[in-house]
Structure 1
């Protein structure tokens, strides 16, 4: 079976033994340089490292490994194990490295980062959240400093100056969110000195499967304030009074729509209107749909929490509050109405970037995770990356008990409480992994009723995460947590004090006991939760409780009749385990299908975005905007600079030079090369003195950028509209993907020309003086308030995915 499994993974693009023998041989050779490295003075690492040419031959690499191991021992008190050096080598070769939980991926990543910097690169170590990025940067800083390298981190609280400083460092630690949003925010700058995010070079991705697979479908969105209406209280009140017969929710829980009876109800409640006439179809009906989305699809303590008088989104894959993020298109305000809170402004999408496209900007990508092999196909298919499996330094002795499956959620919860109470009486620490805030609080309630005191860790108290996790391994501790405690944390047996006696006591009790309250959609997430126990050879055990009412089952299996338990406690035995495994396999297939489908839809949009970004960077960093406008609007240029019209017309496309003493042009009639929209009525304001060239360069830049950004935002809105309805093309036996590409390609073809034509009009008509351009006077306003958010982009549930989810269970 083992040989078959390894062969299967290799066929899927993962190679568990990829270049393993070569890496082991290099590490064996590195041991020969141990004495040499030990003789290097504390201030001598920089000089010795600078002598190394890691691209030359293996001898140079082995000396580097010995040097890195010695430096880590001295600066961090961590002497790298052979397997940690092996992981660093595979990262230097550009692989995704699978290292078991607790095996020291952080040190391996830091050593690899040093190796890349020595080869002349800048490195971004990309994590799943700010906490881990800041922690690891601070933790590894002494090691980097020993090699004369600067390391910084970027967090949500970093200001622009701190971000620029961090990205200028040799190694930058940051979450994928922050790097992505910095890239997006750079698309708003109007001068080169405002740019923050540098050209990408090397990306080392921590928790690579989470970032590259689980987050790949998540677009990072930059939105700006815009005038727009949101559902008012009256509409919300009507929607809140609806009955089940008034609306329908699709099988995937993503969309809600009015039934005929529901439409009649709303029309009557709003005064006998017709929702579908011209007066209401584009306003009232839209607001009703938004209100229904907020009321019936978004659930408190699952999709969001209410804290400090505001609605805060929850990042489902991480279990944490998504700071500074909000929903678009009036949904945020609709949820706020639902919760009786003050409403936020509406907004529009300024730019968007998928995580997959963000990572695709890096010429070299590598990463590390404890669960890489299971995601090998995604790594290969979407990123052309392969997996190297690194053996553990010490054998895993954790006991993984068989799943316990029940017919109903109620019976499952009862069994969990009984199990936890029994284990708790022995003093063994317990970590219970739940799927969302609501479930964590519900289970804590039942545990409390059973006399089991527990600590809850979820998005509501995420600021206390480090403190709670630090004590989760102490005697009698029971910690109920969402997915946020599933990765990047280290639960030490006996607690954070490091008391050997306390640790030995927990070891005697069997280590940490991990309890899962239900299987996730992918076994990788289950493995991550299990991995909280049995770290670095510690004892531990894990067990999952599931029910046939769990989402992984209800979303992916359909039964002709509900399976019936033959036991009084509702347990389903082996049949139940088979059903859970079947549902999870289908869920994993659906996720891969959705990823593939979404990638195909996003690919062309990403290519178009690259074109816009290239154009924008050219405008920001050069004088091309003025050159083009001067060429297209020579008389206006002459009026602004004091140059003569005759000299302007002889420039053959180049920006005309300033002529001191030249008469200011006052005739603003259009030349033959201007757009058809030009009129004599749009007479610009002519300055009383020539505008300084530097000022004019910046004015032209701001004009061109405004219209380019406006055109791109409009294009994204068009793309969104097309995507929301393109699946209907299948009803006409057309290919939705082909039609999607056709429509957005046609729309994009005219974008550059239209943006430049609009810029020419503004260049002619706007007030431009030595104080700059006044776009506001021309009613051209940029968003002064921006925010970010993330949405799961599973809009293209293909026929294949629907078929998988519609499989009828053969049991029961």
Structure 2
């Protein structure tokens, strides 16, 4: 990259910031005071430091104590930029800090500060269990010196371990585990069974991933349903032999599929000539449509993998298996049927909350990530959060080349392998980011054929992620990865021990190669950010083809009929370069619109859930249910011991509240699934959804009281009375999962996609 191009690249990054980020000037003025205060603290003994740390409330003292505790506990003195990041978090901002700048320690200092300023307890929300446990153990010496307790929660934590972990001043936990614990706490019948305390303050790690990419993902608590039927397996058999463009057509955006007349006739013929559109066959038609989605739109080793006899979804943003994630509305069973597997139980939804709605429950919210500016508007829109861009401790000297664009995918892959071969021969370490599992394995096979040994990091072996990434900077290393490289793990030049640092630095540092552009620039930037940490030399480039899905889906009309290119297929045409950039902007716009739309539907449900939670809390913690029975049945209740009456009344009322809420959620799901059809009658789908959802919820509280009274009339209250005596049987088992919400969209989402494309292209 020439001087002018490097200057242009830096100016583009700089110009992204004005108007979208906060002024760090007032915080920077505090740095000399922090340094001076920290020098004073160096003379204190450990116990004296711990005692004094309990009195810190202003930013200067908080950062000074944090700095001294890190020096003693970790043998690391935080950089000024880390202290700036901590103050930004204390100010309730999202701190954008480059990869390798020490976000983990920054968060620990901020967590200490939030507790001392009376905003605790603090939850540090991570993207996975590994980081939750690692960071809690890593930062434990700092917390101990600061007089705070710290714990962590993972999927394997028991009920008692969870309660103990949440009892600490600071708890590290993945966002999904925290959300599931909240849902389970919302169903307890004894307040002592809860594991979480109040949701006071959270620091969100990888904030763009959790607050934007994961925001609309519903977390679900399900219960056992007996006698559940699975109509999808038969449907999967029926659609198996259908042919694309003859029996069905896939929409241009690849998000929906529909039977053609020929396809409909073929299916009906297999079903002895029935009319699938007759009222009595609606359920069967729905199952066929779901099975067709699974057959035509979901691809093995791209959207999911099959491992240990189970279908596991792949997180499209990070490339790793999405733990305990399911598709909704029979689609999971359809994919399992497609792969010849037995359907896993889906059960009845007992409660659900989106990631976005769960995080909104915290009184204080802040976060950190390497890529926040590009979603600054969304963070402001959905969470009222501003972005603070923290400068790097050492200026980044990584060279970022312009994209190499090829006419065909085959020419791109050939050039990619040749580039890797030449670089590998020199011994320079290479990290190649691919878009999906299938592509990573195909590339690895091509490299092996070319005699280039490589390590593959993808959703099939994600448990080895940390170890593989830690050594990706060693001499001669070639690492092929889905777009997940380095999340939470630094790549050090010369390997984890940096033994060969000078040798690798002389070769130009770690070479990052992207095998294609992702739908999000942030994910590309995350990949680039694996190289050039803390002033290290580095290099990055992306290989793209006109045939890549991103370009074909979002900008085919911008590709000229005969672009300027070299004999090897390398395109050098400004129009094509613009088309690739435009396609990525359109994809981001579409995802933003879908996020906004799904949240508009979730808002009313979330308002209802909060209102119901308040009613449930009163039932759980007061005698409101017993008072209802006393008012209605004064004679019958007069002879019953007050404590016994409270227990019985509470148990009955809570059962009916939980039962009616589950029924309400099922009803709303059916309404939402069908509401887009009303758009055909020029009705606003959201208005129609509200027209159904609001009256249904308004009927809920009277029904709870009515059923509570009816149940009490039928029972005989004895000293050892149990709910089962009144057939108030709760699910025998519950489990949690995340729903991959509308993975390929409804008709409504397809309309939104088209609108988003038009808006973004203006």
Q: TM-score range by the shorter chain?
A: over 0.9
Alignment CA distance shift 1:402-1:7 (3 Å): closer
Q: How far apart, CA to CA, are the structure 2 residues paired with 1:97 and 1:560? A: 37
Instruction: Find the counterpart in structure 1 of residue 207 from structure 2.
Output: 208
Instruction: Find the counterpart in structure 2 of residue 33 from structure 1.
Output: 37
CA-CA distance at 1:468 after TM superposition: 0.7
Q: How far apart, CA to CA, are the structure 1 residues paired with 2:13 and 2:316? A: 31
Residues 232, 333 of structure 2: 8 Å contact kept:
no
Instruction: Find the counterpart in structure 2 of residue 185 from structure 1.
Output: 184
> Once structures 1 and 2 are overlaid, which stretch shifts more, 137-146 or 117-126?
117-126
Matched, 1:73 2:22: no
Instruction: Find the counterpart in structure 1 of residue 755 from structure 2.
Output: 803
Residues 766, 773 of structure 1: 8 Å contact kept:
no
Alignment RMSD: 2.5
Q: How far apart, CA to CA, are the structure 2 residues paired with 1:451 and 1:549? A: 27
User: Number of paired residues?
Assistant: 746
CA-CA distance at 1:127 after TM superposition: 1.2
Q: How far apart, CA to CA, are the structure 1 residues paired with 2:462 and 2:208? A: 22
Q: Deviations over 1:718-748 (max 9, x none)?
A: 2222222333333333322222222211221
Residues 512, 540 of structure 1: 8 Å contact kept:
yes
Alignment CA distance shift 1:295-1:96 (3 Å): same
Alignment CA distance shift 1:259-1:733 (3 Å): same
Q: Deviations over 1:535-570 (max 9, x none)?
A: 011111000011222232222224287744443322
Instruction: Find the counterpart in structure 2 of residue 272 from structure 1.
Output: 273
> Once structures 1 and 2 are overlaid, which stretch shifts more, 364-373 or 135-144?
364-373
Could you tell me which of 682, 695, 719 is aligned with 1:770? 719
Instruction: Find the counterpart in structure 1 of residue 673 from structure 2.
Output: 724
Instruction: Find the counterpart in structure 2 of residue 24 from structure 1.
Output: 28
Residues 235, 291 of structure 2: 8 Å contact kept:
yes
Matched, 1:495 2:495: yes
Instruction: Find the counterpart in structure 1 of residue 470 from structure 2.
Output: 470
Matched, 1:235 2:187: no
Instruction: Find the counterpart in structure 1 of residue 660 from structure 2.
Output: 711
Alignment CA distance shift 1:243-1:443 (3 Å): same
In the TM superposition, what are the counterparts of 1:747-786 in structure 2 within 5 Å? 747-766=696-715, 768-775=717-724, 778=727, 780-782=729-731, 784-786=733-735
CA-CA distance at 1:150 after TM superposition: 0.6
CA-CA distance at 1:80 after TM superposition: 0.6
Q: How far apart, CA to CA, are the structure 2 residues paired with 1:469 and 1:776? A: 57
Q: How far apart, CA to CA, are the structure 2 residues paired with 1:757 and 1:358? A: 31
CA-CA distance at 1:293 after TM superposition: 2.7
Residues 294, 335 of structure 2: 8 Å contact kept:
yes
SS at match of 1:701: helix
CA-CA distance at 1:694 after TM superposition: 3.9
Q: Which runs of no fewer than 5 residues in structure 2 stay unpaired?
A: 1-7
Matched, 1:733 2:734: no
Instruction: Find the counterpart in structure 2 of residue 702 from structure 1.
Output: 651
CA-CA distance at 1:775 after TM superposition: 3.7
Residues 556, 807 of structure 1: 8 Å contact kept:
no
- The normalised TM-score by structure 1 is 0.87
Q: Which runs of no fewer than 5 residues in structure 1 stay unpaired?
A: 55-60, 644-657, 659-691
In the TM superposition, what are the counterparts of 1:248-647 in structure 2 within 5 Å? 248-282=249-283, 284-499=284-499, 502-559=500-557, 563-565=561-563, 566-573=565-572, 574-634=574-634, 638=636, 643=639
Could you tell me which of 48, 51, 68 is aligned with 2:52? 48
- The normalised TM-score by structure 2 is 0.93
Q: Deviations over 1:624-644 (max 9, x none)?
A: 223223433446xx1xx572x
Instruction: Find the counterpart in structure 2 of residue 647 from structure 1.
Output: none
> Once structures 1 and 2 are overlaid, which stretch shifts more, 295-304 or 163-172?
295-304
Q: How far apart, CA to CA, are the structure 1 residues paired with 2:661 and 2:411? A: 53
SS at match of 2:447: helix
SS at match of 1:541: strand
Residues 768, 774 of structure 1: 8 Å contact kept:
no
Q: How far apart, CA to CA, are the structure 2 residues paired with 1:222 and 1:762? A: 26
Instruction: Find the counterpart in structure 2 of residue 652 from structure 1.
Output: none
Residues 766, 778 of structure 1: 8 Å contact kept:
no
Q: How far apart, CA to CA, are the structure 1 residues paired with 2:709 and 2:297? A: 46
Alignment CA distance shift 1:423-1:385 (3 Å): same
Q: How far apart, CA to CA, are the structure 1 residues paired with 2:62 and 2:339? A: 58
Residues 594, 752 of structure 2: 8 Å contact kept:
no
CA-CA distance at 1:174 after TM superposition: 1.0
Residues 231, 291 of structure 1: 8 Å contact kept:
no
CA-CA distance at 1:152 after TM superposition: 0.6
Q: Deviations over 1:183-204 (max 9, x none)?
A: 1122222211111222111111
Q: How far apart, CA to CA, are the structure 2 residues paired with 1:177 and 1:47? A: 35
Q: How far apart, CA to CA, are the structure 1 residues paired with 2:759 and 2:212? A: 25
> Once structures 1 and 2 are overlaid, which stretch shifts more, 502-511 or 334-343?
334-343
CA-CA distance at 1:800 after TM superposition: 5.9
Q: How far apart, CA to CA, are the structure 2 residues paired with 1:798 and 1:254? A: 7
Q: Deviations over 1:657-686 (max 9, x none)?
A: x4xxxxxxxxxxxxxxxxxxxxxxxxxxxx
Residues 248, 260 of structure 2: 8 Å contact kept:
yes
Q: How far apart, CA to CA, are the structure 1 residues paired with 2:261 and 2:730? A: 42
SS at match of 1:315: coil
CA-CA distance at 1:145 after TM superposition: 0.5
SS at match of 2:222: strand
Q: How far apart, CA to CA, are the structure 2 residues paired with 1:382 and 1:325? A: 24
SS at match of 2:402: coil
Residues 224, 350 of structure 1: 8 Å contact kept:
yes
Q: Larger C-alpha radius of gyration, 1 or 2?
A: 1
Q: Deviations over 1:739-798 (max 9, x none)?
A: 222221122111111232223222323565433334476375535232312323565537
Q: How far apart, CA to CA, are the structure 2 residues paired with 1:551 and 1:114? A: 46
SS at match of 1:397: coil
Alignment CA distance shift 1:799-1:785 (3 Å): closer
CA-CA distance at 1:211 after TM superposition: 1.1
Q: Deviations over 1:304-332 (max 9, x none)?
A: 21111222222222222222333343333
CA-CA distance at 1:89 after TM superposition: 1.0
Q: How far apart, CA to CA, are the structure 2 residues paired with 1:224 and 1:755? A: 20
> Once structures 1 and 2 are overlaid, which stretch shifts more, 519-528 or 758-767?
758-767
Instruction: Find the counterpart in structure 1 of residue 5 from structure 2.
Output: none
SS at match of 1:318: coil
Alignment CA distance shift 1:560-1:545 (3 Å): closer
SS at match of 2:33: helix
Instruction: Find the counterpart in structure 1 of residue 124 from structure 2.
Output: 125
Q: How far apart, CA to CA, are the structure 2 residues paired with 1:459 and 1:784? A: 29
Residues 558, 575 of structure 2: 8 Å contact kept:
no
Q: How far apart, CA to CA, are the structure 1 residues paired with 2:182 and 2:191? A: 14
Alignment CA distance shift 1:736-1:31 (3 Å): same
CA-CA distance at 1:278 after TM superposition: 4.4
> Once structures 1 and 2 are overlaid, which stretch shifts more, 190-199 or 547-556?
547-556
CA-CA distance at 1:352 after TM superposition: 1.7
Q: How far apart, CA to CA, are the structure 1 residues paired with 2:292 and 2:750? A: 25
Alignment CA distance shift 1:123-1:339 (3 Å): same
Q: How far apart, CA to CA, are the structure 2 residues paired with 1:299 and 1:431? A: 25
Alignment CA distance shift 1:584-1:560 (3 Å): closer
CA-CA distance at 1:486 after TM superposition: 4.7
Q: How far apart, CA to CA, are the structure 1 residues paired with 2:611 and 2:759? A: 43
Alignment CA distance shift 1:213-1:235 (3 Å): closer
Q: How far apart, CA to CA, are the structure 2 residues paired with 1:7 and 1:416? A: 32
SS at match of 1:532: coil
Instruction: Find the counterpart in structure 1 of residue 4 from structure 2.
Output: none
